[in-house]
Amino acid sequence: MATNFQIAGVNGKIEGTGEQTIVMIHGWPDTQELWQNQVNFFKNGYRCVTFTLPAFDQPKARPQVFSLEEIIATIGQVIDLVSPDQPVILMTHDWGCIYGYQYVVRHPQRISRLIGVDVGDAYSDAFDASLTPKDKIVIAGYQLPLVAAFRLGGKVGDRIAKKIAKVVGAPTSPKKIHANMGYPYYIAWTKAKGGLKNLKPLNFICPYLFIYGTQKPTMFHSQDWLIEITKKPENQVSGFKASHWVTIEQPDLFNHTVLAWLQRIR
């Protein structure tokens, strides 16, 4: 039986039972529905918490810019609500990784284990140095139109967002994709509300599992990142034959890989 909640302007859901809680954070252009395969798999042994990032489920609302710090604070409010006394397992994808990682480095005592999907040290100096000219073209080629879509808003902005989602192979229904979802890219490129200047170096104290897709035009992590992760025996890196949406394309492999790691690293 699911329990719905609303806090800090976001809608969320708790499903399943267990002593440990898994909080799942999606990215663009998804909602909490991204994690349904994982919820169905893990809910018999874990409390699974999903929520939709601010404005991602508000296509008709006036476009609003949420800062990095505001999203981190929202994540904190969700975690404090669903597990006030115990640290949680954090599972993140895409922009959920960017925001989730920053929460982890600021509040390490609140996270017992961390799972990152397809985005590693993006926006770090090492990542920037690893990009080829082709990588930079690929990244700008889909991100800048999303910045424009957010700025334009309305039907025009929505059409641009839907088009980019189709081009990159996003599995979310086009009916649910809209321009308002683009604010993470907007702040990254325009530096609105401080942009990403407050990103802290990624130094995780908790055990970390990084899973990424190998079948995509560019990676969202550097090789230095993979080397650094695997220096700790409790950490694990796994590359799957999938695009950016690993949890959708390889749900069984993903779920069993995560479960095996959680059972090994208690």
Burial label for 13, CB within 10 Å (0-12, 13-18, 19+), is middle
pLDDT in tens, 32-75: 999 999 999 999 999 999 999 999 999 988 889 999 999 999 99
* Residues 6+ positions from 253 with CB-CB distance below 8 Å: 240
- CATH number assigned to the domain covering 3-129+199-264: 3.40.50.1820
**Which residue's entry shows tokens 């069984």?**
252
Residue pair 146/160 in contact (Cβ under 8 Å)? The answer is: yes
What is the distance between the alpha carbons of residues 77 and 8, in angstroms, rounded to a whole number?
7
pLDDT for the residue numbered 1:
78
In degrees and rounded to multiples of 5, residue 131 shows phi and psi of: -75, 135
The C-alpha R_g of the chain, in whole angstroms, comes to 17
pLDDT for the residue numbered 89:
98
pLDDT for the residue numbered 49:
98
pLDDT in tens, 182-231: 999 999 999 999 999 999 999 999 999 999 999 999 999 999 999 999 99
pLDDT in tens, 102-125: 999 999 999 999 999 999 999 999
pLDDT for the residue numbered 61:
82
Burial label for 151, CB within 10 Å (0-12, 13-18, 19+), is middle
DSSP 145-202: HHHHHHHH-HHHHHHHHHHHHHHHT--S-GGG--GGGGHHHHHHHH-GGGTTTTPPP-
Average pLDDT, the chain: 97
What is the pLDDT confidence band of residue 8, given thresholds at 50, 70 and 90? confident
Q: Which residues pair with 84 in a beta bridge?
A: none
What is the distance between the alpha carbons of residues 150 and 152, in angstroms, rounded to a whole number?
6
Summarize the confidence of residues 10-37 as an average pLDDT: 97
pLDDT for the residue numbered 249:
97
What is the distance between the alpha carbons of residues 91 and 183, in angstroms, rounded to a whole number?
21
pLDDT for the residue numbered 266:
81
Tokens for 124? 């770090």
pLDDT for the residue numbered 127:
97
pLDDT for the residue numbered 62:
84
What is the distance between the alpha carbons of residues 255 and 210, in angstroms, rounded to a whole number?
13
Residue pair 158/180 in contact (Cβ under 8 Å)? The answer is: no
What is the distance between the alpha carbons of residues 155 and 148, in angstroms, rounded to a whole number?
13
> What pTM, to 2 d.p., does this model score?
0.97
pLDDT for the residue numbered 9:
87
- What do you get for the CA distance between the two ends of the chain, in Å? 26
Summarize the confidence of residues 249-257 as an average pLDDT: 98
Burial label for 146, CB within 10 Å (0-12, 13-18, 19+), is buried
CA 153 to chain centre: 23
**Which residue's entry shows tokens 């898994």?**
22
Percent of the chain with pLDDT over 90: 96
Tokens for 167? 């081009």
pLDDT in tens, 141-167: 999 999 999 999 999 999 999 999 999
